[in-house]
Amino acid sequence: MESQPIEVTYRLQSGSHAAARAQVLALEQSIEMPAEAVTDARVLHEVVARVDDIDTQADGSALARLALSAESVGTDAGQLMNMLFGNSSLHSDVEVVDIRVPDALARVFGGPNHGIAGVRARVGAGSSRPLTCTALKPIGATPAALSAMSRTFARAGIDLIKDDHGWADQASAPFEARVAACQPAVEEANAARRDGGRSLYLPSLFGHHGQMQRQIEIARRHGVQAFLVAPMNCGVATFNALAREHRDCLFMAHPALAGSGKLAPPMLLGTLFRLFGADAVIFPNHGGRFAYAPALCHAIAHNARAAWSGIRPALPVPAGGMSVERVPEIVREYGRDTVLLIGGSLLIARERLAERAQAFVEAVHQAGQEQPA
C-alpha cells in the first residue's frame, strides 16, 4: 500500500497540553497501546501515527495535524473511518476537521463514477445552467400518487426526481411497486420532451448490502440508472462497495445521521462522501430548516468540487427548506455546477404543482444564464 500517510487534522477543545494530548490521540488512532510496549521497529516507524503540527487557536482550542499510516486502512471505507476517529470519537474534547488522502489510496475508493460532467450528460444538460432536483413526498402516499407526482415533475423538466430519503419498503408504497409506478411515468414524460433533456428517477436504497443489491437489480430491470443512498445509515463501506459494483449508475448521497458525530461536515459530506462514490452530495443549506452557517455550506460545496488527482468532482446539492424565490440567491452563491433541491416548497402548491414546478425550472435556467461565463 502507498507509503504516503493520510493527513488528518483534529480540533482539541483545549490548547492546554495540546502536544501531549495529540500524542495520546496518535497512539489511540494507530496501535491503541503504549509505544513502549512495541518491539517491532517497523511498526514504530511506519504504523504508529505521527504528530506533525500543533496550532493553537485564538479561541483557546488547538488544531493537531497527524500523519496516519495508509497501511492501517487497507482498502475498506469503514476501516478508514475507524482509523480516522474510531476510539477517539468517544472523547468529548476532540473533533475531526480535515483529511487529505494520498492519491494511491483515493484511487482504491474510486470517487464518483460519473461526476459533474457525467450527471449533466445523463440528463442532457450542457454547462450553461445548474441542475434541478425534487423529492417525492410524503411517506404514506400510494404508488399511484407518487407516479402522478413523478410525471408532473418530469413534464416540467426537473432533472433529478428522487425518493424522499424516508422511503423504504412501507406498506403504502413498497419499493418494487414504487419503482414500477414512478419510473414509467418519468419515461413517458421524457418521451414527450423536445428540448433534448431527460429526467432521472432516483429510488432510495435501504437495508443491508444484500437487500440494496436486490433493490438495484429490481430498479434496473425497470430502466433506473440512478439511486439515492444515505451512507451513514447503510455504512460507508456498503455505499463504497455499491458504487464500485455498479459503475454505470449514478449515486446521490443523503446526509441523514451525518450530523450526529464530531466529523466536520465539509470533510464528511464534501470530501469523504465524494471519495466513497457520490456523484452528488446533499447538504443543509443556510437559511433553511437547519442551522448551518453560510461559510460551512460554502466549504462543503468547495470540497465536493475541488481539484483532486484521479477523483471526479461531485455536484453539491444545497437543500433543506429551500424555495423557488431563493433560486437566484442560491445560484449566485454556488454557481452553475450545482443541483438545486426543492421539495416541500413545490408540493405546497397542491393543485398548482405543475405550474410551481415549471416556475422552479425556469427560475434555475434564468439564474444560470445570468451567471458570468
Residue 131 within any structural domain of the chain: yes
Same domain? For 71 and 147 the reply is no
Domain boundary among 109, 139, 159: 109
Same domain? For 103 and 156 the reply is no
Same domain? For 161 and 42 the reply is no
Q: Is the pLDDT of residue 261 over 90?
A: no
The stretch 12-24 carries a mean pLDDT of: 92
Domain boundary among 89, 109, 129: 109
The stretch 99-114 carries a mean pLDDT of: 96
pLDDT at 15: 85
Residue 27's pLDDT band (cuts 50, 70, 90): very high
Same domain? For 149 and 100 the reply is no
- Round to whole Å and give the CA distance between 191 and 187: 6
Same domain? For 261 and 352 the reply is yes
Same domain? For 49 and 194 the reply is no
Cross-strand partners of 55: 63
The one-letter amino acid at 63:
L
Looking up residue 333, the CATH number of its domain turns out to be: 3.20.20.110
Asked whether 204 and 167 are in contact (CB, 8 A), the reply is yes
**Tens-place pLDDT, residues 62-79:** 999 999 999 999 999 999
pLDDT at 260: 78
The stretch 194-210 carries a mean pLDDT of: 96
Same domain? For 83 and 154 the reply is no
Residue 191 within any structural domain of the chain: yes
Asked whether 159 and 128 are in contact (CB, 8 A), the reply is no
How many other C-beta atoms are found inside a 10 Å radius of the C-beta of residue 14? 11
pLDDT at 368: 94
Domain boundary among 53, 83, 109: 109
Q: Which helix (H) or strand (E) holds 366?
A: helix 353-370
Same domain? For 121 and 89 the reply is no
Do strands 62-68 and 50-56 pair parallel, antiparallel, or not at all (unpaired)? antiparallel
Residue 155 within any structural domain of the chain: yes
Average pLDDT, the chain: 96
Same domain? For 60 and 191 the reply is no
Q: Is the pLDDT of residue 1 over 70?
A: no
Looking up residue 17, the CATH number of its domain turns out to be: 3.30.70.150
Residue 1 within any structural domain of the chain: no
Q: Is the pLDDT of residue 338 over 80?
A: yes
The stretch 291-313 carries a mean pLDDT of: 96
Residue 7's pLDDT band (cuts 50, 70, 90): very high
Same domain? For 35 and 184 the reply is no
pTM above 0.85, yes or no: yes
Residue 372's pLDDT band (cuts 50, 70, 90): confident
Residue 291's pLDDT band (cuts 50, 70, 90): confident
Residue 290 within any structural domain of the chain: yes
Full residue range of the structural domain in which residue 198 is found: 115-370
Residue 26's pLDDT band (cuts 50, 70, 90): very high
- Round to whole Å and give the CA distance between 340 and 134: 8
The stretch 185-213 carries a mean pLDDT of: 97
Q: What percent of the chain has pLDDT over 70?
A: 99
Q: What percent of the chain has pLDDT over 90?
A: 95
Asked whether 157 and 183 are in contact (CB, 8 A), the reply is no
Same domain? For 196 and 332 the reply is yes
pLDDT at 265: 97
Residue 43 within any structural domain of the chain: yes
pLDDT at 371: 87
**Tens-place pLDDT, residues 225-254:** 999 999 999 999 999 999 999 999 999 999
Number of domains in the chain: 2
Q: Is the pLDDT of residue 121 over 90?
A: yes
pLDDT at 2: 42
* Farthest CA pair distance, the chain: 73
Same domain? For 80 and 172 the reply is no
